Structure 1
């Protein structure tokens, strides 16, 4: 009888904090139920310990899943030491003989979010906020910026990385500063820090655009949400490993259960129709979403 595969998923953050990791945990549970194995989840909140934690997990695993772009550096460092172990990075773009990356294309739904922001903003100034400057976050920001420029070329974008995905106070202070600088809408790519950004949006009269899951059904401060369910990427990694097809996979707007722009009920139907046409143009590659942004960065005056 074949041995049950040993699958260990490493999550970067604290258990129970943030939608990105929550989506990954849900995807892990779905995959384990289908695959008939008991999942093993490891949590590492300390960026300095990521490689060490990945290595310790690899010593007892057949498949390691580093969940999120924060795992790229650690996997690159550790994977050569464990050639018989498969390493998957969700939302990653690294390569190696025993490494594969599985990705939901956040930048595609972020492009639609940027276009919505450009067509909706009254002030002509919108904000983007994230935490760590990891490659998936940079690509998401690039997509949002490009969508904004597509819809409203003269709009001002206040875009910054506060340095921590999980600090509500820090996210709240940056959001308040973005409001003071003229933004009337914020696209936030955060995890545990999101409650601080949401509270500041409400306090200062901003509308919000979320990411990862559909926030519009949870809070009316959200105008939209650039859905990119990374749990689907984690499921794809496990399915590829178990099925003998352990190779890179990217999932975009062609799979709306994984990637889409969810809209609040108060979004004008005519605007929703324009966004549907834009979505179809991305799917047909009439519009190619860029992965890099070369515009100005923004920081609050107190943090500069």
Structure 2
């Protein structure tokens, strides 16, 4: 059985542990940073910013450690709905209790991971969607730019107002890249298309997400690319109510609002998490960035197309998908308007 720790429980455990931390360091042997495949006490935990039933980001993370338990026989635990002020303590709590591998599920955990990792050299931390790396820190990244580029092609092909919008919980490297990919995809179809963006500051606040969606729709956007957790269905349903289009994110969200959802940016974090856990158990996980894109279609892909998407537009997106997977379309760092960003690079066969 997976062990669940509520926010109150992990704070309680941590308070007791803090008082005896020096004693524990002197009297116990720390857990191995990586555990060999033949060891039975491989312990994996995940710290989640939201609810494991959100049908989006947090659920994918929870399913990742569930799959890890099934595949590797690991002892697994999780804590959900951890706010930014409690991130470092949640990570530390699992490390103090001898977990070999701890996933921090979201780019917003980067600072907390960097703060904690040096104190617990025998625990390996994985910043999912993050940019942090170090001796015992790995970053697990989805190539958001690739799949959002495809959504940009679809959105630009479907819009009637020539205005698209991107909205998400927070602005950090992963969401910035996803927005840029969406822009580049849309501009490849319509160079002068308008793309707005909005960040609510909260991945789970339904009211804020709906308010942001309504504001973007009122400004003229008729295609919304959203990335939220618990708040995700509210945006998709708002799009349906207002007669505009939207994209699902992380999981296939077509069924949430079939009249609005064009397709979904699939990111099988469960498979990616289980893969890195296997690397850790066999001692092969290192402090680097693991970037996974369309070259691994079992992890990153497009979801089902809505019936509202014409076959010709589906074919256009799938042709671009094959070009990206075959490295004929790439993204490279560049400067645009004096700012660092990413630009499209098309290569020969």
TM-score (structure 1 length as normaliser): 0.91
Per-residue CA deviations over 1:46-67 (Å, capped at 9, x if unaligned) read 2111112111121111111111
Runs of 4+ in 1 over 2 A off after TM superposition: 14-18, 289-295
**Residues 122 and 291 of structure 1: CA distance in aligned 2, closer, same or farther (over 3 Å):** farther
What is the SS of the residue equivalent to 2:320? Answer: helix
Does residue 281 of structure 1 match 2:323?
yes
Per-residue CA deviations over 1:102-133 (Å, capped at 9, x if unaligned) read 22222211110011111111110011100111
Counterparts of 2:137 and 2:216, CA distance in 1: 39
- Structure 1, unmatched stretches of 5+, are 296-304
Counterparts of 1:183 and 1:86, CA distance in 2: 43
Counterparts of 1:144 and 1:204, CA distance in 2: 22
Matched-pair contact (CA < 8 Å) for 1:129–1:160: yes
Counterparts of 1:146 and 1:13, CA distance in 2: 30
Counterparts of 1:291 and 1:134, CA distance in 2: 16
Matched-pair contact (CA < 8 Å) for 1:14–1:45: no
Counterparts of 2:131 and 2:193, CA distance in 1: 31
Matched-pair contact (CA < 8 Å) for 1:139–1:291: no
Report the equivalent of 2:190: 152
**Residues 71 and 95 of structure 1: CA distance in aligned 2, closer, same or farther (over 3 Å):** same
Counterparts of 1:12 and 1:292, CA distance in 2: 32
Report the equivalent of 1:41: 78
Of 271, 274, 277, 1:238 maps to 277
What is the SS of the residue equivalent to 1:132? Answer: coil
Does 1 or 2 have the higher relative contact order (CA < 8 Å, sep 6+)? 1
What is the SS of the residue equivalent to 1:17? Answer: coil
Does residue 257 of structure 1 match 2:257?
no
Counterparts of 2:193 and 2:85, CA distance in 1: 38
**Residues 245 and 110 of structure 1: CA distance in aligned 2, closer, same or farther (over 3 Å):** same
Of 160, 180, 193, 1:122 maps to 160
**Residues 290 and 181 of structure 1: CA distance in aligned 2, closer, same or farther (over 3 Å):** farther
After alignment, is 43-52 or 108-117 more displaced?
Answer: 43-52
Per-residue CA deviations over 1:36-92 (Å, capped at 9, x if unaligned) read 122111224321111121111211111111112122111111001111111111122
Report the equivalent of 2:69: 32
**Residues 293 and 173 of structure 1: CA distance in aligned 2, closer, same or farther (over 3 Å):** farther
Per-residue CA deviations over 1:188-241 (Å, capped at 9, x if unaligned) read 011111132123212211111111011124431211111112222211220110
- Structure 2, unmatched stretches of 5+, are 1-37, 338-349
**Residues 292 and 200 of structure 1: CA distance in aligned 2, closer, same or farther (over 3 Å):** farther
| Greater radius of gyration (CA) | 2
User: Any residues of structure 2 matched to 1:5-16 within 5 Å, and which?
Assistant: 5-16=42-53
Report the equivalent of 2:139: 101
Report the equivalent of 2:18: none
After alignment, is 123-132 or 199-208 more displaced?
Answer: 199-208
Of 58, 64, 67, 1:21 maps to 58
Of 256, 259, 268, 1:229 maps to 268
* RMSD between aligned residues: 1.9
Matched-pair contact (CA < 8 Å) for 1:127–1:187: yes
The number of residue pairs the alignment matches comes to 295
Report the equivalent of 1:2: 39
Counterparts of 2:257 and 2:173, CA distance in 1: 28
What is the SS of the residue equivalent to 2:284? Answer: coil
CA apart distance, 1:290 = 5.3
User: Any residues of structure 2 matched to 1:288-299 within 5 Å, and which?
Assistant: 288-289=330-331
